[in-house]
Structure 1
Amino acid sequence: MAHYFIDVSSYQPSSYAYFLDKKRRGAKGVVIKTSEGGYGGTPYVSQSGRAQIANARKAGLKVAVYHYAKFNSLRYGANDPVNEANLMANTARAWGCGSDTLMVLDAEDPVLRHDAAADAAIFYNALKRKGFKHFDIYGPGSWFWAGRLKIGTSYGLKGWPAAYGSSGSGVSGAKAWQYTDNWKGLGVDGSLDYGGQYTTKSETPVKPKKITKDNVHEYYYCYNPARIITKTTIYQHKTAKLSRKSNRGLKLFAGTPVDIAKVHFDKDGIVPYFELANGTFITANRNMVTNAYYESPLKEIKVLHRIKLYRDLQRTKVVSHKGHTGNSWPKGTEFTVSKVIPYKGSWVLKLDNGFYCTAYKQYVRKVK
Structure 2
Amino acid sequence: MASYFIDVSGYQPDTLAYFQDKKARGAKGVVVKTSQGGYGGTPYINPQGKAQIANAKKAGLKVALYHYGTFNSLKYGSGDPATEAHLMADVAKAWGCGYDTVMVLDAEDSSLRTKASADAALFYNELKRRGYSHFDIYGPGSWFWAGRLKIGTSYGLDGWPAAYNNSGSGVSGAKAWQYTDNWKGLGVDGSLDYSGQYTTGSTSTVKAKPKTYTKDNVHDYYFTYNSGRIITKTTIYQHRTTKLSSKSNRGLKIKAGTPVDIAKVHFDSKGIVPFFELANGCYITANRDMVINAFYESPLKAIKVIKATYLYKDLQRTKVVKRSGFKSNKWPKNTQFTVDKAIAYNGKWLLKLSNGYYCTGYKLYVKKIA
TM-score interval (norm. to shorter): 0.5 to 0.7
Structure 1: stretches of 5+ with no match in the other structure: 205-232, 234-244, 249-368
Q: What letter is aligned with 1:110?
A: S
CA deviations on 1:319-346 (whole Å, 9 max, x unpaired) are xxxxxxxxxxxxxxxxxxxxxxxxxxxx
Report what 1:48 is aligned to.
48
SS in 1 for 2:174: coil
Distance across 2 between alignment mates of 1:89 and 1:154: 20
Question: Which runs of structure 2 are paired with 1:1-368 in the superposition (5 Å)?
Answer: 1-201=1-201
Distance across 2 between alignment mates of 1:49 and 1:99: 17
CA deviations on 1:201-259 (whole Å, 9 max, x unpaired) are 5689xxxxxxxxxxxxxxxxxxxxxxxxxxxx9xxxxxxxxxxx9699xxxxxxxxxxx
Q: What letter is aligned with 1:176?
A: A
Distance across 2 between alignment mates of 1:246 and 1:143: 45
Residues 1:197 and 1:15: Cα distance change in structure 2 (over 3 Å)? same
CA deviation after TM superposition for structure 1 residue 155, in Å:
0.4
SS in 2 for 1:112: coil
CA deviations on 1:35-69 (whole Å, 9 max, x unpaired) are 00000211000100000000000000000000000
8 A contact 2:71–2:112 mirrored in 1: yes
Q: What letter is aligned with 2:93?
A: R
CA deviation after TM superposition for structure 1 residue 142, in Å:
0.3
8 A contact 1:69–1:107 mirrored in 2: yes
Distance across 2 between alignment mates of 1:55 and 1:29: 12
TM-score (norm 1): 0.55
SS in 2 for 1:125: helix
8 A contact 2:70–2:112 mirrored in 1: yes
Residues 1:74 and 1:23: Cα distance change in structure 2 (over 3 Å)? same
- Count of residues in Structure 1 that have an aligned counterpart in Structure 2: 209
Structure 2: stretches of 5+ with no match in the other structure: 205-224, 226-267, 272-370
Distance across 2 between alignment mates of 1:93 and 1:103: 12
CA deviation after TM superposition for structure 1 residue 143, in Å:
0.3
Q: What letter is aligned with 2:25?
A: R
How large is the RMSD of aligned CA atoms in angstroms? Answer: 1.7
Distance across 2 between alignment mates of 1:42 and 1:84: 10
SS in 2 for 1:67: strand
Distance across 1 between alignment mates of 2:131 and 2:173: 27
8 A contact 2:30–2:61 mirrored in 1: yes
TM-score (norm 2): 0.55
Distance across 2 between alignment mates of 1:65 and 1:200: 15
8 A contact 1:4–1:190 mirrored in 2: yes
Distance across 1 between alignment mates of 2:55 and 2:200: 18
8 A contact 2:35–2:66 mirrored in 1: yes
Distance across 2 between alignment mates of 1:149 and 1:41: 24
Identity of aligned residues (%): 76
CA deviation after TM superposition for structure 1 residue 11, in Å:
1.2
CA deviations on 1:175-225 (whole Å, 9 max, x unpaired) are 000000000000000000000000015689xxxxxxxxxxxxxxxxxxxxx
Q: What letter is aligned with 1:149?
A: L
Runs of 4+ in structure 1 over 6 Å off = 245-248
Residues 1:13 and 1:74: Cα distance change in structure 2 (over 3 Å)? same
Distance across 2 between alignment mates of 1:114 and 1:161: 17
CA deviation after TM superposition for structure 1 residue 82, in Å:
0.1
Q: What letter is aligned with 2:34?
A: T
CA deviations on 1:68-118 (whole Å, 9 max, x unpaired) are 000000000111000000000000000000000000000000000000000
Q: What letter is aligned with 2:175?
A: K
SS in 1 for 2:14: coil
Residues 1:128 and 1:76: Cα distance change in structure 2 (over 3 Å)? same
Distance across 1 between alignment mates of 2:4 and 2:31: 12
Distance across 2 between alignment mates of 1:68 and 1:79: 17
Q: What letter is aligned with 1:119?
A: D
Higher relative contact order (CA 8 A, sep 6+): 2
Report what 1:307 is aligned to.
none
Distance across 2 between alignment mates of 1:42 and 1:203: 29
8 A contact 2:61–2:202 mirrored in 1: no
Distance across 2 between alignment mates of 1:182 and 1:203: 26
Residues 1:140 and 1:155: Cα distance change in structure 2 (over 3 Å)? same
SS in 1 for 2:64: strand
8 A contact 1:34–1:45 mirrored in 2: yes
Distance across 2 between alignment mates of 1:122 and 1:194: 27
SS in 2 for 1:103: strand
Residues 1:202 and 1:17: Cα distance change in structure 2 (over 3 Å)? closer
